[in-house]
Amino acid sequence: MKYLSFFPILLLQAAIMSQAWAAPVTFNTALPISEGVFLYRQQLRWQSSADDPSGMNREMDAQVAISVLGYGINSKLAVFGVVPWVDKSLEMTVNGNAIERDNRGMGDAKVFARYTFWQDDAQGRTFRAAAFGGLTAPTGKDDETDRFGRLPPSLQNGSGTWNGFGGVVATWQSMNFEIDGEISYEENREANNFEAGDESRLNFSWQRWYWPSDSSRDAGFLYGVEFNWLHRGQNKVGGQKEANSGGDTLWLAPTLQYVTQRYILEMALQKPVVQDLNGTALENDLIAITSVRFIF
Amino acid sequence: MKLIRVLFLPLLMATSGAWAQGPSYQVGVNGLSCPFCAYGIEKQIHKLDGVKQVKVDIGKGQVVISMDDDRTLEEAQVEAAVKRSGFSLRSFEQSQERVEK
């Protein structure tokens, strides 16, 4: 079953970098979080990967529930905790027989801080730039088994390692538009003789406001498009690089949000427009995202 | 006639918003461009002593603050609250406008 480890690690890294405050659905923003204010976001993701170049008819589906709690220590510094719950299944054909393997449970949690180092405000608009950094903790189990033996890393809920990540995000927002850009890097470490490839990300979001009421503007719609580029390095097994792992993916996601002073409802559909994956790595098909955010 | 005034004046005072509230302030805030971000500023200003009502107007980028009777605000207090919420103070002036309940 070694070939199962060729499957890309799908979900968590892509999902949990999206944060609790307003703006992009799929990644960070640099918008302010006030001192003493809590944010809670509950996000649900459905992901399907069924484009299998290996001929084994692999199909991987996953549902991820991501809970994010943030707190503003002061107007510049905010801290966040992210806990994912994952339900994954893999179907494939081996020697003419269809098999299915699945797993569910808590994934690896993340804690991180964001510090706003640049702020330029004017009436009805703002520009912010912030740096963020944190740790992924091995809270998800990484040694689950089924009747076929130990599950491959892509089906484990956790990585078994402490990983570090960091990046920079910038946001320009006015009463008409919002533009966000983010660059980030995560270093993945080795556990159980397996090391997932490091990940580099470049994200961009363009969104436009629609205000049902021109007077007070205490609620509005944000609609737009987000681009997410991900480069994943090759996995290593026993210190040796896996040929059928890693590569580049560019996602395109139309997004829609309903934004009020106390909550945000949002949805997005992420579709890969460019996939340049190594070897027979399983290609991604579609990710559907829906979530709600509260502030208190 | 004097008796009627004595009897009804307290009633008029009690039902009039002008008698029931202290001064109001109109605060201009820079950087305010999203409803979701406005909650923080409302919360910070509500923490100030004597604040009765707060109304954030995203479109105008301003906050109207109504005070309890006999209570006033200093510009420095409001500026600090706006800063704690992650925004910048643009203007501060006493206002005739009151926050509607």
Mean pLDDT for the stretch of residues A145-164: 90
pLDDT of amino acid A123: 94
- Residues of A with CB below 8 A from B59's CB? 175, 211, 214-217
Q: Answer yes or no: is pLDDT of A286 > 60.
A: yes
pLDDT at B4: 54
Summarised one tens digit per residue, pLDDT across range A240-276 is: 998 888 899 999 999 999 999 899 999 999 999 999 9
pLDDT at residue B93 in the model: 94
Taking residues B60-75, what's their average pLDDT?
Answer: 92
Give the chain B residue whose CA is nearest to the CA of A265: B36
**A26 vs A39: CA distance, rounded Å:** 17
Helices B75-84, B35-46: crossing angle, 10 deg rounding: 140
Smallest CA–CA distance, residue B67 to chain A, in Å, is 21
Contact A125 B90 (CB under 8 A): no
The model's confidence at residue A216, banded by pLDDT at 50, 70 and 90, is confident
* Cα separation values, A234 from A14, A54, A59, A111, A142, Å: 16, 17, 21, 25, 19
How confident is the model over A93-121, as a mean pLDDT?
A: 92
Q: What is the ipTM of this complex?
A: 0.80
Least trusted range by pLDDT, from A11-25, A41-55, A60-74, A248-262: A11-25
The per-residue pLDDT of chain B, averaged, comes to 83
Residue A54 corresponds to which tokens in the numbers above? 């290996």
Mean per-residue pLDDT, A162-174: 94
Report the gap between the CA of B2 and the closest CA in chain A (Å): 46
Look at B34 and A259 and tell me if their CB atoms are within 8 Å: yes
B30 interface with A at CB cutoff 8 Å: yes
Give exposure, A42-51, as e/b (b: 16+ Cβ within 10 Å).
ebbbebebee
**How distant is the Cα of A115 from the closest Cα of chain B, in angstroms?**
12
E strands, A51-192, in order: 59-72, 77-94, 97-106, 109-122, 125-137, 145-146, 149-150, 163-174, 177-187, 190-191
Statement: residue B15 has pLDDT above 70: no
pLDDT of residue A25: 87
A268: tokens are 């997005």
- Which residues does residue A293 pair with via DSSP β-bridges, in sequence order? A41, A264
- Report the pLDDT value the prediction gives residue B7, as an integer from 0 to 100: 52
**Number of A:B CB contacts under 8 A?**
108
| Confidence label for A57 from pLDDT (cuts 50, 70 and 90) | confident
Tell me the average pLDDT across A82-91.
Answer: 93
C-alpha–C-alpha distance, residues A287 and A271, integer Å = 7
d(CA A180, CA B1): 69
B42: pLDDT strictly greater than 90:
yes
**Inter-chain touch B59–A125, beta carbons under 8 Å:** no
Q: What is the pLDDT of residue A204?
A: 95
Which positions in chain A touch B31 (Cβ < 8 Å)?
A: 32, 119, 121-122, 125-126
- First CA to last CA across chain A, in angstroms? 48
Residue A239 identity:
G
Closest partner CB to B37 (pick from A31, A35, A174): A31
- Evaluate whether A68 touches A40 at the Cβ level (below 8 Å): yes
More confident residue, A114 or A284: A114
**Could you tell me the two tokens for A49?**
């990967």
B83 contacts on A by Cβ (under 8 Å): 75
Mutate which of B27, B36, B41, B87 to disrupt the A interface (most A C-beta within 10 Å)? Answer: B36
- Which pLDDT value is given to residue B5? 55
**What does pTM read for this prediction?**
0.84
CATH class of A38-295: mainly beta
Least confident span in A31-40, A85-94, B5-14: B5-14
Subunit contact B59:A32, Cβ cutoff 8 A: no
Q: How many helices (H) does chain B have, and how many strands (E)?
A: 4, 4
Lowest mean pLDDT: which of A188-197, A262-271, A279-288, B15-24? B15-24
B89 close to A75: Cβ distance less than 8 angstroms: no
Burial of B19 (0-12, 13-18, 19+ CB in 10 A): exposed
Contact A220, A211 (CB under 8 A): yes
| Residue B21: predicted pLDDT | 64
pLDDT on residue A218:
83
Q: Do the Cβ atoms of A178 and A30 come closer than 8 Å? A: no
Q: Where are the domains of chain A?
A: 38-295
